[in-house]
A and B are shown apart, each in its own frame.
Chain A
Amino acid sequence: MADNPTLEMEQPAPAKRKGVKRRAFLIGGVAIVGAGLFGISIMDSNAVKTAAKLTAGKGEHSFATWLKIAEDNVITIYSPHTDIGQGSNTGLAQMLAEELDANWDLVKLVSAPAESAFANVGLGRGFLGEMTGQPGIINGVPQSFLSFIARQMNLQITGGSSALRFTGQVTFQKVGAATRLALIETAAKRLGVPAAELTTQDSHVIHAKSSRSLPYGKLAAEAATLSLNNEPKLKDPKNYRLMRQSVPRLDIPAKVDGTAQYGMDFSVPDMRVATIMAAPARGGKLTSVDEAPALAVKGVEKVIKLDDAVAVVAKGYWAAISGLRAMTPQFTDGGNGGISTASIFKAYDDLIAKGDPAGEAGEGDVKAAMGPKPVEAKYQVPFLHHAMMEPFALTAHYKDGKLDIWGGMQDPLASKMMAVDVSGLDSDKVTFHPMLIGGSFGRRLPMYMEIVSQVTKLAMQLPYPVKLIWSREEEIAQGAYRPQSAAVLKANVTANKRIAAFSNDYAQTESAEAETTFIYNLPAVARRNYEHKSNQITGAWRSVNSTQQGFYNESFMDELAHAAGVDPVEFRRNHLKADSRHLRVLDECARLANWKAPLPEGVGRGVAIVESFKTIVAHVIEASVKEDGMPKVHKITTVVDAGSIVNPDAAKAQIEGGTIMGLSSAIGEAVTLEKGAVQQSNFSDYPLLKLADAPLVHDIHFINSGAYMGGIGEPGVPPAAPALANALFAATGKRVRNLPILTQAKA
């Protein structure tokens, strides 16, 4: 590993705009896959005892932190991940329950408390050791820092399509298997038979010979006193009963009758509601505000000035937002008044033209092989907002020296630590109560959680609980965006219709080469990245840099195919390794999509294939152009190789949703800047795809290649935009090089 991640990591300081660089733990994610940290101890730390104290009530027995078994045979599993709706918690429960042979009907899943006993410190420890190449180094590292890393790991695991492949494979399956062995050992003693004669099913240990069986609940008290096997043998997949099954998601019933409680829905007696406006140009400060018009609004109780924002506290949201809108606060632009979408693209052009990259990857002598007349294309994509449906909302109450916070965040533990920092309270005086999240897509990661700091500041000076709600306008204007980015691609396609050299020079506000997988097998490739900072925060947006890289590489491959006069599927095939998983995915997708079949007049077919988070996804899209110049997607065929799938229907839902998010951004979404401030304000000018424009047919197929498990929440996104752009080219002969399509249709 070239980078030393410890150098890149900093404690997330709420006062600062940027905390931890995502790149560091993405590298960490790769390290874990590569190193396969299967040897970590899952059973023997103090955390296990603390967790038992925190979770196990009377008649309940805790195992290895993550589960407890009650005497009535109810099994409760604690997930360290926040299920953002991707079904990963159901998947985790399936994995643990599978190895445990639990009765699924009596399995309950709850969020782990936001306490350090539930941080994945074991992973953090192993991660740091692996990353530095010297496992001993961690002995001198304070526990708090290890916990911090553990939190980052948790966060990455949740955010990086990886709950199942890391927490699930590394910890939960083993915990289930080890607990099962302890239950068998206990039963063997009690029944006076050899353990080898015992089997397990539906939360019972069974002795077939004597037709006796014991429920887990009756064995748990004793089994919980045994030390668990750190290296239990896992099941042969052919004996799976729960994994690889489309088990209905545990969270869904509460989401159809209005009973699911999101952070927005929390309330306590005497609670007030606040709303806030931060400096429109990021980096700006509040200079003055006349509070009178706000205080004149019925229900408004207080105006609170923060360094860079002003908040209105009222009896309810309507009074608060009316009060806020009645004022005309003045902010500086923090010296960022010259920043605009155009100025950023100009800076990118200059950087690429100058040719002094911040980072470089690839192989072969591209310069020599490029030849005198390469094919060349320039692409541009805008900042994108996550636009999760639930705007930020956190409730905080400071009373008797203690601070409680309720809400939905992707990393409750890091949220708590941020509140500890901001409040100056001891960590045992701050409690974060995790609630359901109404969408995240990377938005609710700790390094961009200003709202935690804001609500803490408000609560510390108010005598009552306060719920801080961001308006949608605030949400859109103060995002942590997918970077605005531009790329210049060049290639030399020789007379034999093969690529001799390929280069991709891309510029953006943050670089992350490690996240981008280049799948083609070419003699000479160069990928060079250029960094230009703006005043905006850029963050992890579903599938991260693979969105823009997927668009660049797969659009350009299409351009090269057409330049060479070769069918786009054939052209890609010619540049993929024989027998590779990529080739199989591409071939399957082309076959299932009837790639060669004739299409109606005006309809075109486009293909794209991208690997991200270890999962390979190919889309074939059939699309045409409507009268208003906007694209119409008729049909999508998708093939996915994620190694293996825990819950096929939940995985399908993720691919459907990811594809739609990719199409939505390609078609209509752009955050643009003028004078350092975001110009969009709401869904009226940040349009998301609606049902009528979603594909009527989306045919999704999984290949169970048995390769190491990849992610599923994100990889459906990246190939969507290029497959659509390629289909539109096939339909119209017009190449889409700048997104979103809406801007060009209007122009």
Chain B
Amino acid sequence: MTISTTVNGKAVTLNAEPDSPLLWAIREELGLTGTKFGCGIAACGACTVHVNGEPARSCSLPVSEVAGKSITTIEGIKGADGTLHAVQKAWIAAQVPQCGYCQSGQIMAAVALIEKTGKPSDDQIDEAMTNICRCGTYPRIRKAIHAATGQAATAVEGAA
């Protein structure tokens, strides 16, 4: 079956079984490997992308459900001129990633949270940032979200 969608602003046609997850179409068909496979059951968030601006765990989202929708992956959040998104810059400034494998998903979740809330509070961060990071970069993720939204990171003074 063919499914027409928009990925990172470009119209694409996916040839996939309707029940197959969006994640594998993105990674294997489009070759956009920044979106990661971690669990396959919507438990870790490594596969987080935006579907019409909302965060979605693409490992558990059948491609049939994204027909006609607009998908953004980690490769699509830089500016048109290649400048990094404010969240990406904050991630570098706070030296967030360790192994880095979860970070595409973390950044996509953070971008969606910030787009929705403007300046997320610690409680809003707790609630929205449910992606797993085995390396334990959580204090820096919190710090980077605060920094990206112009908030002083008083609560995480220990995180560098």
Contacts and interface: CB of A to CB of B under 8 A. Distances in A.
Interface residues of B, number: 64
A650 B84 contact: no
A387 B126 contact: no
Contacts of B102: 389
Contact of A694 (B37, B74, B138): B138
A691 B130 contact: yes
A296 to B, nearest CB: 13
A116 B147 CA distance: 46
B126 A691 contact: yes
A238 interface: no
A258 B37 contact: no
Contacts of B157: 697, 699
A73 B107 CA distance: 35
Contacts of B137: 653, 656-657
A366 interface: no
A439 B135 CA distance: 7
A684 B44 CA distance: 9
A256 B88 contact: yes
Interface in B88-139: 88, 91-92, 95-104, 107, 122, 125-127, 129-139
A252 interface: yes
A264 interface: yes
A316 interface: yes
Given A650-B95, A652-B160, A256 B46 contact: no
B33 A85 contact: no
Given A255-B100, A316-B28, A653-B160, A248 B134 contact: no
Contact of A700 (B78, B107, B158): B158
B132 A436 contact: no
| A258, A267, A299, A698: most-surrounded residue (chain B CB, <10 A) | A258
Interface stretch (A36-44, A357-365, A481-489, A658-666): A658-666
B92 A253 contact: yes
B134 A317 contact: no
Contact of A682 (B39, B155, B156): B39
A298 B92 CA distance: 42
B35 interface: yes
B36 interface: yes
B159 A656 contact: yes
A257 B40 contact: no
A258 B34 contact: yes
Contact of A318 (B17, B34, B122, B132): B17
Contacts of B141: 691
B52 interface: no
A89 B114 CA distance: 33
B50 interface: no
Contacts of B27: 265
Given A318-B17, A660-B138, A438 B36 contact: yes
B44 A683 contact: yes
Contact of B99 (A85, A299, A649): A85
A438 B41 contact: no
Contact of B125 (A265, A388, A691, A700): A691
A689 B133 CA distance: 8
B92 A248 contact: yes
A471 interface: yes
B93 to A, nearest CB: 9
A256 B92 contact: yes
A688 B39 contact: no
Interface in A216-272: 246, 248-249, 251-262, 264-265, 267
B152 interface: no
B32 interface: yes
B130 A259 contact: no
A508 interface: no
B88 A688 contact: no
A658 B134 contact: no
A255 B97 contact: yes
Given A259-B34, A682-B39, A696-B155, A318 B160 contact: no
A285 interface: no
Contacts of A159: none
B99 A390 contact: yes
B38 A389 contact: yes
Nearest to B76: A258
A84 B140 CA distance: 18
Interface string B56-99: 00000000000000000111001000001000100110011111
A133 B156 CA distance: 50
A48 B136 CA distance: 39
A656 B136 contact: yes
A255 B103 contact: yes
B70 to A, nearest CB: 18
Nearest to A657: B136
A85 B135 contact: yes
B151 interface: no
Contacts of B122: 696
A257 B41 contact: no
Contacts of A251: 97, 100
Contacts of B149: none
B21 interface: yes
A695 interface: yes
B20 interface: yes
Contacts of B73: 258
A257 B134 contact: no
Nearest to B104: A258
B22 to A, nearest CB: 10
A696 B88 CA distance: 22
Contacts of B136: 656-661, 664, 689, 694
A650 B31 CA distance: 32
A244 to B, nearest CB: 15
A317 B33 contact: no
Nearest to B29: A316
B91 A258 contact: no
Contacts of B131: 690-691
Given A683-B44, A691-B130, A697-B155, A258 B138 contact: no
Given A658-B136, A683-B41, A690-B132, A439 B101 contact: yes
A438 B28 contact: no
Given A248-B92, A258-B75, A389 B134 contact: yes
A664 B131 CA distance: 14
B74 A439 contact: no
A633 B88 CA distance: 28
B74 A258 contact: yes
A389 B98 CA distance: 11
Nearest to B128: A691
Given A251-B97, A251-B100, A319-B20, 14 more contacts: A86-B98, A264-B33, A317-B28, A389-B134, A439-B101, A472-B38, A638-B158, A653-B137, A656-B137, A689-B138, A690-B129, A692-B129, A697-B156, A698-B139
Nearest 3 interchain pairs by C-beta: A258-B34, A438-B101, A255-B100
8 contacts: A252-B92, A254-B100, A258-B32, A262-B36, A319-B20, A437-B99, A439-B134, A656-B136
